[in-house]
């Protein structure tokens, strides 16, 4: 039997495997533009055209492509390279962030464009919610995609030296829209072996024996690794600048499993099929142990203690009670404060498990390469990973396997979304173990299902708040009891818990504040870092409670906020004290509130349907512009021989747009245009160190290092130009292509050559370093007007307004995208997203069809307003704006629900069925 298909016009006759889908068939032939987001037909990232019809290639049996013509995103442009109109439009509108979903949107849009005006045209292009039902984007919130389809142009070409504050497009844009941007797994490595993991079916068990004999007999299987092969050393999968922030409670492979889905063994084989078969044949004998999945129960005496075997070296607060971290503090005397209050309210709020759902799954590829180009004999390990923290991961791998840093290189390609989930070492450890043992390249790529039970989630929180106020709304006291479920391992648990009660408790003035907080082990999938890092969960409770307090006092919730928010220059006090390096280096909270005031005043919103209840609500949030305890970045900027510049910086790009900002900052400092600046990044080879792309640090920390380097280079070049020409330094002016030295034009190329000739290469390069301290604070406010159908529970968002105090906005187009994406992601977590676990802690929603992500149809357009502030600490006045837009969204929505219905929703998500159940008990309204 012979097989023939045409892929992008090229004939191909390689026979597919019987059960193979078209997606892997295409990727195995090097068409890496075809992405795996879900591998189950839900996300559309793998959309291709078969004989002109758009299909999800992950569902398309490859054998059925026989005799057909397949077009992937790589075949969309004309053969001479002329972009397809939809590619051009996605570039002009920047209809993407990480870009992992973009090929799917392009292929879908292109098919609809082609259908337009034909007999098959049923108007989908005029009905984008329907057209994009099968395409998920986790980053943008879809507004940018709509603009792309509609042909709106947002990208700009600022003049030389004018890039900062304007909206040039992302430098990787052309690669993203042509499917040539290289993400983690878009590499072809000869001799690559594939890893699959055996996972625990039990919530808590001791591993008595692992029989690998049968598995090793499977053709193609090279090795099976178990806890007996793993280093005894414990570590945390969480990545922080200081590893001591997180408890050392994890092994590469443990002899005890603590949640359903924990990895037990790793099978490495020539192919994924063989590795899978090997996994099915590994026989594990377990001794089951008692388990606990509720954090309150886990703290009770007699509950199974998950990590009782560990001592103080693991830094677990109270292993016998499953408390991995706790905080207790009080300023003033809250009981006195409550006694002084005219009204005291108390309520318990709960937030659910949420998954990051970055479209690129976790995974990495480890391979060996020469340490230096001219030294083939001496090899080192290179780990290409979907990570936010290449440098910290290298550090962890070296510590774990006793390797010197020059023996390990960690790089990230373009990363397909992170949201905190990749501030974690979840695959690099075990892949490194296998690669070192086998001295072969090894890859592990998570499935979508593994993302749900084998990675991390947002921490579920239970927050009890007591709040007292005088009749005029002045707060007298508040106290929080916070219980966070960190799951089977403590990665990020204590740090998230501390952050959760930081800015959330400091934003409101009250003479008496008290907190008790616990981060608790349970036999559930571990929680980890997630956009907002605990703040969103507690903000939901605080903003809900304050709203409730105001309503019960008969006061306007906005007025009560204005009365109690901290002002410019005030101390940011929590019951745990004051953070020394945290400063209010700019203040835009008052402006945020004005934006909300204006929104409430006008009646621009759509009319609600008849019989629906209408309400409005607000949420506020404050966030530090970087993590505590230091966040380091090195940057190097150099002039190249062709007169352009190269920036080297460690931080990773996953759609956050920091690469564009770094380009802009450099172009601004060096009086050039951003297209003259290339950025090398996320590679432990390019700079000395970078803590990583988390804590919203890409602009304020790495950006500041870039600014320092670029500014220093500008000074050096000017000095050298003066030396080279003999013209006084103050008469030498730098331009986009050349220096003007008192009328004499010195092209940058000439300057480069002159420096080389003079042996002054050192003048062509400059370094910058920033330590992430001191830090400032950023503010966000969200306002919704909603209508609720009491007959069905449906919530319709009539208007959404967001005020963001990002300081001086570096790139308005991108920053708007960050805000919109944050609001959309938070709406998902408010309205329907929920990782459900059963009573054994097993995840039951391990696919996108069971875990609903916001689709195009779910996300309203949000009006984004930026405040007019300039920060005294951030680079060029900028502040962070990637995590924080998420935080005020949930309470704004539930406050609007309260306004509409009179019901206080204390538990997320507020799905239509739950809203209807709550409304059912209400007396009918007229």
- Residues near other proteins (CB under 8 A) are 17-21, 24, 39-42, 44, 47, 53-56, 58-61, 63-64, 108, 111, 119-120, 122, 124, 129-135, 272-273, 276-277, 280, 447, 449, 791-793, 831-832, 834, 836, 844-845, 847, 849-850, 852, 855, 857-858, 911-914, 916-917, 920
User: Judged by CB, which is closer to other proteins: 736, or 847?
Assistant: 847
3-class DSSP state of 104: helix
Can you tell me the distance from the alpha carbon of 370 to that of 381, in angstroms, rounded to the nearest whole number?
9
311's CB contacts (< 8 A; 6+ apart) are: none
User: Judged by CB, which is closer to other proteins: 42, or 634?
Assistant: 42
Closest CA to 915 of 900, 353, 923, 925: 900
Can you tell me the distance from the alpha carbon of 276 to that of 273, in angstroms, rounded to the nearest whole number?
5
Type and span of the H or E element at 798: strand 795-805
Q: How far is the CB of 63 from other proteins (least distance, A)?
A: 5
Per DSSP bridges, beta strands 221-225 and 263-269 are antiparallel
Can you tell me the distance from the alpha carbon of 623 to that of 26, in angstroms, rounded to the nearest whole number?
44
| DSSP letter string, 667-693 | HHHTTS-GGGEEEEESBTTTSS-B--S
Q: 634 and 768 in contact (C-beta within 8 Å)?
A: yes
Instruction: Give the number of other Cβ atoms within 10 Å of residue 774's Cβ.
Output: 15
User: Judged by CB, which is closer to other proteins: 382, or 855?
Assistant: 855
DSSP letter at 700 equals I
Backbone angles phi, psi at 272, to 5 degrees: -65, -35
User: Judged by CB, which is closer to other proteins: 405, or 913?
Assistant: 913
Q: How far is the CB of 53 from other proteins (least distance, A)?
A: 5
Tokens of 438: 């086998």
Q: How far is the CB of 19 from other proteins (least distance, A)?
A: 3
Instruction: Give the number of other Cβ atoms within 10 Å of residue 644's Cβ.
Output: 17
User: Judged by CB, which is closer to other proteins: 378, or 792?
Assistant: 792
Helix then strand count (H, E) for the chain reads 25, 31
User: Judged by CB, which is closer to other proteins: 129, or 329?
Assistant: 129
Q: 635 and 678 in contact (C-beta within 8 Å)?
A: no
Instruction: Give the number of other Cβ atoms within 10 Å of residue 872's Cβ.
Output: 13
Q: In what order do the strands lie in the sheet with 461-469?
A: 323-331, 512-521, 475-487, 461-469, 343-350
SS (H, E, C) 353-422: CCCCCCCCCCEEEEEEEEEECCEEEEEEEEEEECCCCHHHHHHHHHHHHCCCHHHEEEECCECCCCCCCC
Q: How far is the CB of 485 from other proteins (least distance, A)?
A: 20
First to last CA, the chain: 73
CA dihedral 748, 750, 751, 753 (to 10 degrees): 130
Q: 736 and 672 in contact (C-beta within 8 Å)?
A: yes
Tokens of 567: 């002002």
3-class DSSP state of 579: coil
User: Judged by CB, which is closer to other proteins: 132, or 540?
Assistant: 132
Q: 48 and 55 in contact (C-beta within 8 Å)?
A: yes
Q: How far is the CB of 40 from other proteins (least distance, A)?
A: 4
Angle, vertex CA 398, rays to CA 393 and CA 400, nearest 5: 95
Can you tell me the distance from the alpha carbon of 186 to that of 198, in angstroms, rounded to the nearest whole number?
25
292's CB contacts (< 8 A; 6+ apart) are: 298, 303, 304, 322, 522, 523
Type and span of the H or E element at 55: strand 53-56
Can you tell me the distance from the alpha carbon of 310 to that of 110, in angstroms, rounded to the nearest whole number?
57
Q: How far is the CB of 649 from other proteins (least distance, A)?
A: 37
Q: 686 and 702 in contact (C-beta within 8 Å)?
A: no
Per DSSP bridges, beta strands 193-199 and 442-445 are parallel
User: Judged by CB, which is closer to other proteins: 441, or 860?
Assistant: 860
CB-based burial label for 464 (10 Å; 0-12, 13-18, 19+): middle
3-class DSSP state of 13: coil
Q: 111 and 50 in contact (C-beta within 8 Å)?
A: no
Angle between helices 143-150 and 85-92 (to 10 degrees): 130
Closest CA to 767 of 706, 715, 720: 706
């Amino acid at each position: 039997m012979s097989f023939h298909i045409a892929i992008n016009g090229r004939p191909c006759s390689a026979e597919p495997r019987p059960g193979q889908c078209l997606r892997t068939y295409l990727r195995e032939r090097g068409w890496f533009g075809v992405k795996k987001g879900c591998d189950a037909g839900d996300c559309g990232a793998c959309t291709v055209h078969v004989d002109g019809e758009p299909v999800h290639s992950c569902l398309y049996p490859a054998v059925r492509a026989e005799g057909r013509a397949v077009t992937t995103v790589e075949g969309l442009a004309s053969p001479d390279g002329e972009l397809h109109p939809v590619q051009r439009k996605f570039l002009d509108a920047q209809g993407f962030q990480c870009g992992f979903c973009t090929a799917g949107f392009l292929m879908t849009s292109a098919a609809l464009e082609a259908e337009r005006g034909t007999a098959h045209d049923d108007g989908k292009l005029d009905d984008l919610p329907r057209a994009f039902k099968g395409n998920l984007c986790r980053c943008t919130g879809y507004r940018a995609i709509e603009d792309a389809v509609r042909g709106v142009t947002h990208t700009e070409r600022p003049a030389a030296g004018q890039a900062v504050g304007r909206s040039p497009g992302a430098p990787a844009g052309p690669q993203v829209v042509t499917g040539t941007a290289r993400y983690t797994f878009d590499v072809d490595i000869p001799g690559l072996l594939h890893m699959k993991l055996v996972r625990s079916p039990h919530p808590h068990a001791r591993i008595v024996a692992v029989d690998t004999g049968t598995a090793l007999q499977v053709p193609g299987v090279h090795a099976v690794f178990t806890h007996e092969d793993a280093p005894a050393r414990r570590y945390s999968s969480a990545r922080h600048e200081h590893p001591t922030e997180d408890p050392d409670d994890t092994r590469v492979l443990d002899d005890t499993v603590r949640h359903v889905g924990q990895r037990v063994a790793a099978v490495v084989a020539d192919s994924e099929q063989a590795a899978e078969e090997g996994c099915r044949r590994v026989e594990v004998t377990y001794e089951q142990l008692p388990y606990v999945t509720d954090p309150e129960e886990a703290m009770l005496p007699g509950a199974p203690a998950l990590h009782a075997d560990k001592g103080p070296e693991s830094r677990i607060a109270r292993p016998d009670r499953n408390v991995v971290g706790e905080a207790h503090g009080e300023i003033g005397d809250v009981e006195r404060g409550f006694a002084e209050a005219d009204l005291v309210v108390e309520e318990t709020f709960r937030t659910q498990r949420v998954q990051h759902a970055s479209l690129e799954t976790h995974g990495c590829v480890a391979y060996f390469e020469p340490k230096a180009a001219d030294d083939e004999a001496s090899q080192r390990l290179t780990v290409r990973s979907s990570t936010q923290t290449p440098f910290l991961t290298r550090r962890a791998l070296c510590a774990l396997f006793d390797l010197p840093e020059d023996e390990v290189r960690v790089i990230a390609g373009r990363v397909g979304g992170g949201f905190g989930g990749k501030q974690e070492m979840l695959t690099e450890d075990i892949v490194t173990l296998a690669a070192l043992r086998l001295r072969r390249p090894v890859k592990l790529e998570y499935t979508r299902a593994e993302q749900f039970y084998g990675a991390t989630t947002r921490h579920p929180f239970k927050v009890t708040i007591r709040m007292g106020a005088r009749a005029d709304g002045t707060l007298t006291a508040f106290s929080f009891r916070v219980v966070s479920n960190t799951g089977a391992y403590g990665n990020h648990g204590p740090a998230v818990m501390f952050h959760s009660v930081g800015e959330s408790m400091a934003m409101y003035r009250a003479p008496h504040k008290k907190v008790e907080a616990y981060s608790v082990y349970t036999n559930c999938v571990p929680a980890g870092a997630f956009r907002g890092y605990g703040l969103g969960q507690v903000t939901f409770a605080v903003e809900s409670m304050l709203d409730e307090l105001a309503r019960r006092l008969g006061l306007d919730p906005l007025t009560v906020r204005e009365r109690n928010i901290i002002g410019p220059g005030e101390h940011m006090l929590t019951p745990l004290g004051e953070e020394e390096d945290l400063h209010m280096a700019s203040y835009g909270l008052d402006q945020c509130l004005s934006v909300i005031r204006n929104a409430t005043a006008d009646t621009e919103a759509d009319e609600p349907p008849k019989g629906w209840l209408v309400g409005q609500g607000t949420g506020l949030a404050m966030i530090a512009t970087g993590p505590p305890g230091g966040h380091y970045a090195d940057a190097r900027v150099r002039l190249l021989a062709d007169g352009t510049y190269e920036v080297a910086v460690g931080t990773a790009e996953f759609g956050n747009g920091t690469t564009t900002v770094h380009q802009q900052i450099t172009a601004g400092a060096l009086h050039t245009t951003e297209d003259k600046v290339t950025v090398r990044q996320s590679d432990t080879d390019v700079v000395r160190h970078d803590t990583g792309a988390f804590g919203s640090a890409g602009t304020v920390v790495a950006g500041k290092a870039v600014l320092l380097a670029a500014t220093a280079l500008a000074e050096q070049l000017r000095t050298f130009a003066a030396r080279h020409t003999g013209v006084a330094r103050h008469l030498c002016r730098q331009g986009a292509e050349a220096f003007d030295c008192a009328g004499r034009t010195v092209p940058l190329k000439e300057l480069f050559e002159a420096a080389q000739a003079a042996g002054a290469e050192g003048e062509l390069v400059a370094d910058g370093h920033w330590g992430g301290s001191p830090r400032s604070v950023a503010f966000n406010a969200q306002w919704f007007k909603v209508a609720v159908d009491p007959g069905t529970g449906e919530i319709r968002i009539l208007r959404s307004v967001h005020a963001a105090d990002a300081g001086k906005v570096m790139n308005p187009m991108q920053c708007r995208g960050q805000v919109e994406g944050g609001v959309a992601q938070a709406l998902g977590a408010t309205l329907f997203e929920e990782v459900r676990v059963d009573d054994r802690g097993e995840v039951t929603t391990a696919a996108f069809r069971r875990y609903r992500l916001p689709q195009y149809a779910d996300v309203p357009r949000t009006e984004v307003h930026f405040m007019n502030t300039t920060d005294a600490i951030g680079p060029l006045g900028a502040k962070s704006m990637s995590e924080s837009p998420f935080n005020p969204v949930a309470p704004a929505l539930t406050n609007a629900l309260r306004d509409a219905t009179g019901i206080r929703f204390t538990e997320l998500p507020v799905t239509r069925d739950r809203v209807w159940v709550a409304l059912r008990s209400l007396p009918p309204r007229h």
